[in-house]
Amino acid sequence: MIKIICFDEATEAIALRGVLERFNFKVELAYVGRPNDFIYELNNSEAIYIILSGHGNKDEFLMPVLGEDVYEENEPKHINGKVLREKLTATHKIIISTACQTGSQDLAMPFLLKDNIYIAPTDSVDGSSSLFFVIRLLYENLVLNKTLVVAFNFAKETDHETRLFRLFK
């Protein structure tokens, strides 16, 4: 099973779901708006592959802006390395982020400390290239049975935008 956690505009997540289901994978799609829901979905997924679909900026996942009365007490507004270090419990997952600028050591480290693999773009990446990167990565890895590293290298070499992705393990 593959899980997609969509924390912003849903076009990318819906496209990924359609393609991955066409590859005959079971796909679970969770739409979240609150940071605590993002963490809950990440920590409680049975899927090995988790795709984080949304926006990022300077080492954090940007959550939608909500009314103050929607947030729980002490709930963070965005997800950064500090929040992940405090709240992440998911282990042994392959986590792929399509969010811009989320391929930093600061965001990767909490995932790595829990024995996860983390893949994300180091800079702002075109949405079409990001979508294609994930499709190519999972096709090479799960359909053609190439190792994750080999599949990553194939997907990364598509163009200058996909070369922005980095694999942390």
Using DSSP, state whether 149 is helix, strand or coil: helix
Other residues' Cβ atoms within 10 Å of the Cβ of residue 149: 12
**What does the mean pLDDT of the chain come to?**
96
Q: Would you mind telling me the total number of residues written for the chain in this entry? A: 169
Q: What are phi and psi of 28, to 5 degrees?
A: -110, 130
User: Averaged over 87-102, what is the pLDDT?
Assistant: 98
pLDDT above 90 (res 9): no
Torsion of CA 33, 104, 3, 151, to 10 degrees: 150
**Which tokens go with 59?**
């080492």
Question: Per residue in 12-69, pLDDT tens?
Answer: 999 999 999 999 999 999 999 999 999 999 999 999 999 999 999 989 999 998 988 8
pLDDT band with cut points at 50, 70 and 90 for residue 143: very high
- Burial of residue 43 (CB within 10 Å: 0-12, 13-18, 19+) is middle
**Which tokens go with 139?**
């096709």
pTM of the model: 0.96
pLDDT of 50 reads: 98
Q: Tell me the fold of 2-168.
A: Rossmann fold (3.40.50)
